[in-house]
Structure 1
Amino acid sequence: MGDWKIGDDRRRRSTDQLRELREANDGQVAWDTEAPADFTYLFHPDHVLVGAEDVDEFEAAVARLDKDILGEPPRRDDVLLLGGDLVRYVLAERSGGESVPDVLELLERGGLRQGLASPDHWVHVSPGGGTACPAVEPEETGLTEPWPPVAPQDEGHDVRVVVVDTGWNPPSGNDPRTPWLKGVDGDDELNGPDLRPYAGHGTFIAGVVRCMAPLTTVFVEGFAIGGVGGGGILESEMVRQLEEAMARKPQVINLSAGCRTRLDLPSIAFSRFYRRHLKGEDCVLVAAAGNDSWAAPFWPAAFPWAVGVGSLDRDGRVSSFSNYGVSADVYALGRNIVNAFPDGTFECHETPNKGDVRVFGTGLARWSGTSFAAPIVAGLIAREISETGSSAADARDAVLARAVYDSDPLVGPHMELRQPYPHP
C-alpha cells in the first residue's frame, strides 16, 4: 500500500482511505491502478455481476476462454439479488493472477458484449476515484444552531423520506439541542464514546433533510452498522439496502454515496434496481455527485433518473472538491454545513490530520462534501410534496425549475443561496 509520492497530502489521504476500507473488509477491496492513490474505481477481487437474461451469453464466453486462465468455471453465488434479476458470480483463483477487469477484457476480446458483465464495485460514502469519503472529516463547531437553519413549516401533507446511509444515532432524536430531529427513526449505528470513521454521517444528513422540510417522516436505512464495511458497501449489496428502503414506500430517497465504474459504464446493479423497483413509482432518488473535482460519471448520480447534486460554497461558487458534468444536475450548499452529530471523541484517520483528536460535545458538527448538498435538494423536494400535495416527479421538476443558471457551462443550474433558506 505504499506510494512513492509521499509528499502529496491528497495522495496520502487516498492511500489512508483505501487502507481503512480494505482492512474493514478483510482485504476484499481491489483497485484498477498500481498505486492506490491513482485509482478510478474499486471492486471486489473475485465478483462478477451479470443480468439474469445475459447469463447464457456470459457462461458461453467463459467456456471459450483459455482454461489456463480460469482453472474452473465461475461459481454462481446463491445470494438472491433483486429477485434474481441480478446474478453474482465468484471467480476461482486465476493461475496468472489476472484481476476481474483483466478477465472481463479477455472475455470481451473473445466476443462477449462490452458491459454485459461487470466487476462488483465498492460504493462508498460520497466517494469517487482519488478520494473515498466526504470532502473532509467532521469538524467541531462553536455554533449552537444548524446551518442552513430550520425553515419554518406550519402545515403540510405527510411525506416519507428514507436516507440510505451509515445508520442513525438515536440520542439525537431526543436531544433538546437538536429538536428538529424529533420523530426521526432508523437503524441504530451503535455509537460509543470513541466515534469511528463515518459515525454520524446518516444522522447529519437526516438533520439537513429535516431543516429543509420539518414535517417529513424520515427513516435512516443503515448499511454500515457498527462500523462494518468502513463506510463502504458492494453495489450488489447496496441495491438490497435500496430494496429495503423502497419497502417503506418513500417519496424521496437520499443516497449520499456512489462509485466510478470500469470504463465508466453504467452500473449494472443500479440500472437493475431502477428497472425493477423505481421505474414507474412515485419516488425520486437524490444522489451525491462525488468529491473529486472531475466530470467523469459517478453512479447513481449520473443516471438520468437520479437527481445528482454537486456542492456550492457559501459565496455561491462551485466547491473545489465537487464533481460536475453529467453527475451534477443541480448544485446546492455543501461547504461547512452544520447539523446534528453524536457526542464523543473522534480520531482523524486521514492525511494531513491523521492522529488529530476532535472532541464533540455540543450535539453538532461542521462537515463539507456533496454528501451534504444532496439532502438540501432532497429536503426541498420533500417540502414541495408536503406543501402542494404533488407527485414526487412534479415536485422534483418544480424544485429544479427554481434553480438559477451560471454563465460557466461546467456549472449549470444551482440553488440560489437565498432560496430556500434566509441569508443572515
Structure 2
Amino acid sequence: MQHPDRKHQLLRLVGVLTLIVFSITSASASLDPEQHERIIIGFQDGLVQAMDTPDLSVSDFQVLTELTELNAVVVSASDPDRFMEEVSQCPGVKFVERDIHVYALETSPYVPDDNRYAEQWGPEMIGAEYAWEIEQGGSSVIIAIIDTGVDYTHPDLGNYIAGGYDWVNNDDDPRDDHGHGTHCAGIAAATINNTLGIAGISQSAIMAEKVLDSDGSGTSSITAEAVRHAADNGADVISMSLGAAESTHIMEEACWYAWEKGCILVAASGNDGATRVSYPAAYDTVIAVGSVGMTGSRSTFSNYGTNLELVAPGESILSTTPGNAYGQKSGTSMACPHVSGVAALLLSHYPGMSSLEVRDRLTETADDLGSPGKDTQYGYGLVNAFAALGGEEATPLTIESDAVVVVRGEEIILTITGEGYREYWLSVDDAGVAGIEMYPQVVPEQQDVLPGIPSGGINGSAGFDETECRVLMPGSGAARVRYATGFSTAAQPFTFTVTDPEDPPFSDAITVSVTPGTVTITAGDRDRFFFGEEIPLNGTNTDNRSTWLYMTGPGLDAGGAGLSGPGMVQVPVMEDGDWSYV
C-alpha cells in the first residue's frame, strides 16, 4: 500500500563507472524478500542522475545487492511484471530482467566400487595420455571454476590458489559445501603422478568462484559478478558447469567482458536432452560442451543444437569430492572441465595463443562425430587433446636461407618453419672466429625475435648474445630472421642452427658463406692527363668498407697530387656502393 509521507521516493543512480545505489524503502514493514521475485536493473555507463519517482505504483520492493562493477542492482519486488514495466521507462535504465536461477548440470550420481585411474575413461578417450607426452600443463595458467566452490584441502587438488571469492556467503573462502565444484575441479586439474586418486587433464592452477549454494542453486547476477571477478584476477580459462534455460543481459555482458579480456570461456550445454543449449553456453563468447558416453554416442541427457561446439566424456566420470574422497558423477557438467583442461594445456604449450586461436584449434582438431562437419548433435566433434597439441601431425623444424652465399655488407635472411606459437632458439655456431664483431649479428627490433637466449645457451654456439636469439613462432608456423654482416664480418662460412629448447635434439642447420665484396677504380676513358689537370677517380665498393686510395709515382711529395705526403687517403662510400675522388 502507499504511504503519503513516502510519496516522493528517490531512485538515485550514482556512477563511478556507474556506481548504482537505490534509496527506495519498502512501503510495508512486513515485506519478506524471500516471497518476492528478484529483479536486475542495469544502467547506462557513466550516468550520474537523480530521479523523483512519485508515479511508481509498486512500492513493495527493496534493494538486495549493488553490482557496482556491472552497473546494476538487484531488487526484490512483490509485483515483478508491473515493476519491470514501469522501471524500464525510467531514463538511464539499460535493461530490466528477472534474476533467474542457475544450477549445477549433473545427473544422478552412480558410485562404483572400482579403483581410481583405471576408472577414468575420459582422459584416454580424448587423447590425454598421448598429449601428456607433449605437455602436462603448468601453474602459470589459471582455470577458474565457477561453481559450488572447491574443497581446497583435498590432497589431489594441491594446485589450488587464492584469488577467488564466495559470492553466496560474501567472503573470500569459496570452500565447497555441495561437492559439484570439487568434482569439476578434479576433472580439469587434479594433480598427476602423485600416487593419489585421479589425474586431471592439465596441471594448471585452480581458482574457485563460489556462486552456487549447498543445494547447487544460484542466480545469474552473482554468476555474472564471478565471471567478471575471475577475468580481473588472472583467470585464463573460465569453466562453468552450470546453466539456465534463458538468457540474461547481465550474464551475456559479463561473458563478453571476460572474452574481451582474453579469457577462454567454457560451459556445459545442459542436461534436459533437449534441442536447445543452456546459457551461458549458448553465448557466442562461450564454448558450449555436450556429453558423450564411452561409445562416443551423445548422452541421452545432453542438450544439443546449433550453438553446440564440442563434446567430451560426461558419463560416470570419477573425480575428487569433498572430504578427501572420490566419486562418480554424470552430466554435461563433467564434460565441460575436460574441454577446460585441454584449453589450459594449449595455453601452457603455446603461451602466445589468443583465446580465439585456442578456440579455433580445439574445433579444427576435434574428432568428427555424427554427420560430416559441424552438426547439432556433436558440434565440431569430440575434443582431442593430442591433436590440439599438434601430436598427430608433427611439424618438422627447418631452417632455410634466401641465399647460401652473401657479399659482406648484405643481410642474411633466414626462414624458420616449425610449430606455431612455440619458442625456438637460433644461434651462429662457433667457427673459430676470435671476436664478436667478426660474426653475423641479429638485426635489432624484429617482430617476435628476442636477442639472446637463456644462460647456458646452445652447445657449440659462439656465446655472444648478438649472435643468438629467441624466435617466438607465430600461428602460421613460419618466421623470418635477419642477420647483418658488416665490414668486420669474417669472410668465411657460418652455420646457423635452430633448436627446440624443450627437445634439444630436435633441430636443423644451414651454412651460409660470407664473401668479400669487390673494389674497382677508373679514371674514365683516359689514361693520360696534362700537368695541372685534375684527375677524377670513380669506382665501386661492394665490401661495405670505406675506399682507401694509395698513390705511387714520381713527384708525389709534399706538394704532389694534393696529398700531404705519400700514402693513403680515405674515400667515403655512398649507399649504392659507388665512390668518387678528385
Task: Mark the CA change 1:108 to 1:282 in structure 2 (over 3 Å): closer, same or farther.
Answer: closer
SS at match of 2:99: strand
Q: Distance in 1 between matches of 2:175 and 2:204?
A: 24
1:413 aligns with 2:379: yes
Find the counterpart in structure 1 of residue 204 from structure 2: 216
* Paired residues, number: 323
Q: Distance in 2 between matches of 1:375 and 1:54?
A: 34
Task: Mark the CA change 1:141 to 1:397 in structure 2 (over 3 Å): closer, same or farther.
Answer: farther
SS at match of 1:254: strand
Q: Distance in 1 between matches of 2:371 and 2:103?
A: 32
Find the counterpart in structure 1 of residue 330 from structure 2: 368
Task: Mark the CA change 1:397 to 1:417 in structure 2 (over 3 Å): closer, same or farther.
Answer: closer
Match of 2:145 among 163, 183, 193: 163
Q: Distance in 2 between matches of 1:366 and 1:83?
A: 37
Alignment of 1:255-404 (within 5 A): 255-261=240-246, 266-275=247-256, 277-343=257-323, 363-389=325-351, 390-403=353-366, 404=368
Offset of residue 386 of structure 1:
1.0
Match of 2:226 among 232, 241, 248: 241
Match of 2:104 among 122, 125, 131: 125
Query: What are the superposed Cα offsets for residues 62-111 of structure 1, whole Å, 9 maximum, x if unpaired?
Result: 9777x4xx2x2754x273314251232332x44xxxxx34754x659999
Alignment of 1:5-20 (within 5 A): none
* Stretches of structure 2 lacking an aligned partner (at least 5 in a row): 1-31, 166-172, 190-198, 388-582
* 8 A Cα contact 2:147 2:180, kept in partner: yes
SS at match of 1:80: strand
* 8 A Cα contact 1:316 1:417, kept in partner: no
The percentage of aligned residue pairs carrying the same residue is 22
Query: Which amino acid in 2 is paired with 1:143?
Result: N
Offset of residue 405 of structure 1:
4.4
Q: Distance in 1 between matches of 2:231 and 2:383?
A: 31
Q: Distance in 2 between matches of 1:392 and 1:251?
A: 9
Find the counterpart in structure 2 of residue 142 from structure 1: 114
Deviates more, 1:278-287 or 1:266-275: 266-275
TM (normalized to structure 1)? 0.65
- Larger helix proportion, structure 1 or 2? 1
1:89 aligns with 2:72: no
* 8 A Cα contact 1:289 1:324, kept in partner: yes
Query: Which amino acid in 2 is paired with 1:416?
Result: L
Task: Mark the CA change 1:135 to 1:102 in structure 2 (over 3 Å): closer, same or farther.
Answer: farther
SS at match of 2:289: strand
Match of 1:231 among 183, 204, 216: 216
- Larger strand proportion, structure 1 or 2? 2
Task: Work out which structure has the larger RCO, using CA pairs closer than 8 Å and 6 or more positions apart in sequence.
Answer: 1
Task: Mark the CA change 1:147 to 1:267 in structure 2 (over 3 Å): closer, same or farther.
Answer: same
Query: What are the superposed Cα offsets for residues 167-214 of structure 1, whole Å, 9 maximum, x if unpaired?
Result: 222342x2xxx4xx33234676667xxxx7xx3211211111124543
Q: Distance in 2 between matches of 1:417 and 1:244?
A: 28
RMSD of Structure 2 on Structure 1 (CA): 3.8
SS at match of 1:386: helix
SS at match of 2:36: strand
Task: Mark the CA change 1:201 to 1:55 in structure 2 (over 3 Å): closer, same or farther.
Answer: same
* Stretches of structure 1 lacking an aligned partner (at least 5 in a row): 1-26, 30-43, 95-99, 127-133, 344-360
Query: Which amino acid in 2 is paired with 1:135?
Result: T
Task: Mark the CA change 1:314 to 1:419 in structure 2 (over 3 Å): closer, same or farther.
Answer: farther
* 8 A Cα contact 1:203 1:220, kept in partner: no
* 8 A Cα contact 2:100 2:220, kept in partner: yes
* 8 A Cα contact 2:110 2:328, kept in partner: yes
Deviates more, 1:300-309 or 1:290-299: 290-299
TM (normalized to structure 2)? 0.49
